[in-house]
A and B are shown apart, each in its own frame.
Chain A
């Protein structure tokens, strides 16, 4: 039996040690080091960092110029690295090269190689998927994609706060366990859509709007005269708690709907920006609607008898 030493592994070990050394020795007050430390953080957190970066350098990611075998060799040699593509699958070969580079060398490859402007202007680096884009759009799309790549790499191991999970559990009954079955089909539809959309993070503002629409709708359940109907509903839900509590809650939530950017989108309406604020308003309103629905179903049953 003979032993074959793997020189690539020694080069990768050197890159890892240089990165680890840079992390503890870099002067954090220097502007150039802040960017490098962010890049290093992305590399450390995202175990697929090199293969994803490789797809950008090869142009397998269509937001970047396509590079054939010849141009991949040229890419690294122009940066001063002595690598020659060996004919193997391009993205795996580039990944293995990147694994041998430390973060300072990776940064140089991104700045002076991946984002070299002349390559975004070279039409022979385009494929049918990106040939329509102007040179500027092609470059700007790549810059945006790269920013996302770094941000997502840094966040890849984030966990969901336990408080958030527990809070959601408390509200699961309100969100999932009840279907709305009043005589008013439009009301049922609005509440169902609000709950469905709330579960999609991008749709939560619309969910809030649908829920406030449902609130306006429920206020006219008994009578087209909103004030008269709402007062009857408040009477019905004020059993063990003072009527004033619910009257004030109806008034407060109506005012929030009128003054904030929930149902009305004029420039003088105040925006609701954070996920916590949306959560708070959504469940505050859903709780009131849920309580009201209990009373509505009772009065529906009474009227059927």
Chain B
């Protein structure tokens, strides 16, 4: 059982490593999908800590181009 979980964590770590290598090409869907499956595997405070991570933020443009001048 612990060997199986051990290999799952190893897999998640490799996937994270791939994300880091290609950070600019990662899509939000890929991040969300990965986040969900990792969160569901972790337990206890590891899960709580992981759930607090956002991984990305949406940045509003300073000027609203829709307002005509």
- Scan A47-88; emit 1 where CB is below 8 A from any B CB, else 0: 100000000000000000000000000000000000000000
The CA-CA distance from A19 to B49 in the complex, in Å, is 12
Given contacts A6-B56, A13-B53, contact A20 B42 (CB under 8 A): yes
Closest Cβ–Cβ distance, residue B50 to chain A (whole Å):
5
The CA-CA distance from A10 to B54 in the complex, in Å, is 9
Q: Does A144 interact with chain B (Cβ within 8 Å)?
A: no
- Scan B20-57; emit 1 where CB is below 8 A from any A CB, else 0: 10011010100000000010001111101110011111
Find chain A residues with CB under 8 A from B19 CB: 10
The answer on a CB contact under 8 Å between A14 and B13 is: yes
* 1-31 of chain A: CB within 8 A of chain B: 1-7, 9-10, 12-14, 16-21, 24-25
The answer on a CB contact under 8 Å between B45 and A44 is: yes
The answer on a CB contact under 8 Å between B6 and A4 is: no
The CA-CA distance from A9 to B54 in the complex, in Å, is 7
The answer on a CB contact under 8 Å between B46 and A19 is: yes
Q: When the two chains form the complex, which single residue of A1, A9, A20, A45 contacts B60, counting CB atoms closer than 8 Å?
A: A1
Q: When the two chains form the complex, which single residue of A10, A13, A25, A47 contacts B6, counting CB atoms closer than 8 Å?
A: A25
Q: When the two chains form the complex, which single residue of B6, B28, B42, B45 contacts A3, counting CB atoms closer than 8 Å?
A: B28
Closest Cβ–Cβ distance, residue B33 to chain A (whole Å):
14
Closest residue on chain A to residue B53 by CB atoms:
A9
Given contacts A14-B13, A21-B9, contact A3 B56 (CB under 8 A): yes
Closest Cβ–Cβ distance, residue A209 to chain B (whole Å):
42
Find chain A residues with CB under 8 A from B38 CB: 13, 17
The answer on a CB contact under 8 Å between A2 and B61 is: yes
Find chain A residues with CB under 8 A from B20 CB: 7, 10, 14
The answer on a CB contact under 8 Å between A17 and B44 is: no
The answer on a CB contact under 8 Å between B46 and A4 is: no
The answer on a CB contact under 8 Å between B5 and A44 is: no
Find chain B residues with CB under 8 A from A21 CB: 6, 9-10, 13
Q: When the two chains form the complex, which single residue of B6, B16, B28, B44 contacts A24, counting CB atoms closer than 8 Å?
A: B6
Closest Cβ–Cβ distance, residue B57 to chain A (whole Å):
5
Given contacts A13-B50, A14-B16, A16-B46, contact A4 B57 (CB under 8 A): yes
The answer on a CB contact under 8 Å between A5 and B53 is: no
The CA-CA distance from A248 to B6 in the complex, in Å, is 64
Closest Cβ–Cβ distance, residue B3 to chain A (whole Å):
8
The answer on a CB contact under 8 Å between B2 and A5 is: no
Find chain B residues with CB under 8 A from A45 CB: 45
The answer on a CB contact under 8 Å between A17 and B12 is: yes
The CA-CA distance from A216 to B6 in the complex, in Å, is 65
A-B contact pairs, 29 of them (CB 8 A): A1-B60, A2-B61, A3-B57, A3-B58, A4-B57, A5-B23, A5-B56, A6-B53, A6-B55, A10-B19, A10-B20, A10-B23, A12-B49, A13-B16, A13-B53, A14-B20, A16-B49, A16-B50, A17-B12, A20-B9, A20-B46, A21-B9, A21-B10, A21-B13, A25-B6, A44-B45, A44-B46, A47-B45, A47-B49
With A4-B56, A12-B53 given, name 6 new contacts (CB 8 A).
A7-B23, A10-B19, A13-B16, A14-B13, A16-B50, A25-B2
